[in-house]
Structure 1
């Protein structure tokens, strides 16, 4: 694999920032509307206005999600294609020095398909994670995860109840509601398996996994096409030195191996 660990770590950063901006947008919009409804005096229209504000906000969030997905797809096309070309270019230097033929990614259908398949897979990961977003809420000492719409209703109802009953004043109720939103952050929640991640963590993992797998496949395919049979495994300080076989990383890292076909 031609890309270094440091180069791979840089690839997800623009996507992480994009989804952090999405998170900030959602929290700000929800906070503003909770504050607006919480400041209304008691009236017969209060519940109607609350429902309207939540409905409008969810539509705005849905639109922002689409904008974020569209932009992330554009970036995936550009960044993954560039990463693939760069990876092969670095390996071409090695092939050239060894007297082997060089590869042209743009003219090689197999290599191009590897890049395209990775982009498609990562786009699917992004789509799936944006369809299962929610917030964390502590109930009776236990963390419960709720979809955005449900959390929105509950957060607004709690703030209204606190203000109406005089348990706490308006400013404190709104501050607590906003603090809870910020403390939770947007979560990617698999409500079937129970697996939960901060959205920026889920995005970083999806991009890093895709980029890592793509460059590995490009390397192996490139070696196959130029007739290269040997690889040198990278090494790092502090490698695992327990267990036997492949479990003991220190015993096999930094060595040259012949590919098992």
Structure 2
């Protein structure tokens, strides 16, 4: 059976560009603040810079709006056409006439309603960014001013801390509940959820118009435990046959699979789908054995075995680490380029190189994880707009410089210890083994 999985990469990429532009604007404004020791002057300066930052962000959002809206609309159009194409194949086996979504008013209305709802949610979320970013700017500047004023930190140290804070805080969107997410996370969740809910609503409408009351749920590895119990089974749209077993499949109600709720079928980040199922005509797409195998702990990593769901969550965490370090590295680079003097520039350069080292190590760990578990690297989830080939090469060279400087310091330290007459402690090598077959090789001679 063909399944449609929407790809929101283009939409997310546009909003990532928006976020990175906002972070750059924040850091440039902070660099223009300079060192202000008088409280009254500081308050006047921060009010001015924060006001200008707000205007900057509003303009940045406005400049991206048309492109973002067009990308979201195109994604919904593709989802509608592909969903109807897949369902048509199923309905034709039951001798039901094919449908063109552009000629079906009920399905067209469902598609348009889903698009408008998602677009409105995205617009509302992104519009909160200007105020939340302005507050983050206030907080970072206030913290730096207090650190310098108290004498506990130098101006250079305070600026370094502030730049890191702005990179980590980034551009957030705020939900009505008060919960916050980074723009790319919120956009991916909102878009994929909106498209997914709309495509299953189109399938449901098609089935109801064709007189079909059963839907077969898809199944995939890595399903959440609460979703794994009903994946691959049947759902009744009318309540008819609820609780029965048809062709070896349990029939659930819409309520039992959480249809319409955020944590249920087609809720937040749910990848399951459904397709029309005609009793006496259709045949199950999965055996019970195949479904059970999807939840097995059969993926080895570092001496333990994990389910696909657990491994997918570990990979997502690694990708978040890489993105966070890329943002820190880019933020430090922007700060270096806009530093008000050489002292601050030198301090920020140190941060840039330190972040570059951590970034390369995080990328290495993620590569090793994917190799060991057999996972495909999702390089798009590691991307940060602005961190292209040039920025990557700069980070590589910075990491190498940092490593060479560390080695030189160690060599100098060892040389100083040797000339001072003190004994240098040497750790003998561990004896080699033949892989645990019971026989040890002789210790190497030193």
Q: Same fold (TM over 0.5)?
A: yes
Q: Which residue of 2 aligns with 1:110?
A: 106
Shift of 1:95: 2.5
Q: Which residue of 2 aligns with 1:219?
A: 203
Higher helix share: 1
CA contact (8 A) 1:38 1:163 kept: no
Give the aligned CA root-mean-square deviation in angstroms: 3.0
2:74 is aligned with 1:96:
no
2:22 is aligned with 1:22:
no
Query: Against the structure 1 CA distance between its residues 22 and 235, is the aligned structure 2 distance closer, same or farther, given a 3 Å change threshold?
Result: same
Q: Which residue of 1 aligns with 2:179?
A: 195
Q: Deviations over 1:35-88 (max 9, x none)?
A: 121246869865544433222221010111223333221112111012111111
Q: Which residue of 2 aligns with 1:138?
A: none
SS of structure 1 residue aligned to 2:178: coil
SS of structure 1 residue aligned to 2:87: helix
Q: Which residue of 1 aligns with 2:171?
A: 186
For residues 99 and 59 of structure 2, what CA distance do their matches in structure 1 show? 42
**Unaligned runs of at least 5 residues, structure 2:** 240-446
**Unaligned runs of at least 5 residues, structure 1:** 135-145, 242-246
TM-score normalised by length of structure 1 = 0.78
CA contact (8 A) 1:16 1:200 kept: yes
Shift of 1:169: 3.0
For residues 224 and 169 of structure 2, what CA distance do their matches in structure 1 show? 34
Shift of 1:218: 0.5
TM-score normalised by length of structure 2 = 0.48
Q: Which residue of 1 aligns with 2:78?
A: 82
Q: Which residue of 1 aligns with 2:190?
A: 206
Moved more, 46-55 or 105-114: 46-55
CA contact (8 A) 2:133 2:172 kept: no
Q: 2:162 aligns with which of 158, 174, 177?
A: 177
Q: Which residue of 1 aligns with 2:135?
A: 150
Query: Against the structure 1 CA distance between its residues 36 and 104, is the aligned structure 2 distance closer, same or farther, given a 3 Å change threshold?
Result: same
CA contact (8 A) 2:15 2:184 kept: yes
Q: Highest relative contact order (Cα 8 Å, sep 6+), 1 or 2?
A: 1
Moved more, 148-157 or 45-54: 45-54
Shift of 1:114: 0.8
Q: Which residue of 2 aligns with 1:254?
A: 232
Shift of 1:239: 6.2
For residues 224 and 127 of structure 2, what CA distance do their matches in structure 1 show? 38
Alignment of 1:234-249 (within 5 A): 234-237=218-221, 249=228
